[in-house]
Amino acid sequence: MTSSTGAVTREWQGLTIPAPGTYTLDPAHARVGFVARHMMVSKVRGQFAEVTATITVAEDPTDSAVRATIQAATIGTGQADRDTHLRSGDFLDVEKYPTLEFRSTRVTSVRGNEFTLAGDLTIRGVTHPVELDVEFEGVGRSPFGQDIFGFSASTEIDREDFGLTWNVALETGGVLVGRKVKIEIEGEAIREG
């Protein structure tokens, strides 16, 4: 695949990947979601409606970098009272900490189209290292002439590491909200310029 300015894809370790450059997350084709245990017996799913990200694809793909910002107040689980509680000081405290931030630090391993992306995640002003399991989904050109690539990623965090410690003990044992939260990301990135 080529454009008037040169190649927009290249071959690397048996994969067709994007050419070096800066790409931005397409908000129309992005989902940053999460899953948490509720009352020890079920799962609650939610997502953030506003996310921005810049992906810098390097000449050596393992030197690529990601910067992402999530607007904390856009959290949604489909239940208004719960969403209000999640925005409060008991959880995200969106008035004091309006964003969640991710900054990659390095690619730690590559296995075909799957790789591990290490970085720093900041929630409520607390930063901890995390590792995202990322799957490169492919590269292409949209009907509108935009060079794009797709990806999915996931990780699991302990919410209490980030100061999200609110909970209620249950009469039957256990707690109302599980400590582990699975983060699930799907997206397309569009080449700038």
Rounded Cα–Cα distance for residues 10 and 46 (Å): 36
Q: Are 151 and 187 in contact (CB under 8 A)?
A: yes
Which residue's entry shows tokens 């009272």? 81
Longest dimension (CA), the chain: 67
For residue 65, count CB atoms less than 10 angstroms from its CB and return exposed for 0-12, middle for 13-18, buried for 19 or more: middle
Both tokens of residue 184?
């699930």
Query: What's the pLDDT score for residue 6?
Result: 59
- 175, 11 contact by CB (below 8 A): no
Provide the CATH number for the domain formed by 22-191 in this structure: 2.40.128.110
71 touches 51 (CB < 8 A): yes
* Cα(107)–Cα(105) distance, integer angstroms: 7
Question: Chunked in runs of 10, what are the mean pLDDT values of the chain (193 residues)?
Answer: 59 93 96 88 92 97 97 97 95 97 95 96 98 96 92 97 86 80 97 88
Written as one string, the DSSP assignment of 82-127 is HHHHHHSTTTT-TTT--EEEEEEEEEEEEETTEEEEEEEEEETTEE
Q: Where are the domains of the chain?
A: 22-191
Please give the model's pTM, rounded to 2 decimal places.
Answer: 0.90
Predicted confidence at residue 192, as pLDDT, reads: 92
pLDDT of residue 29: 95
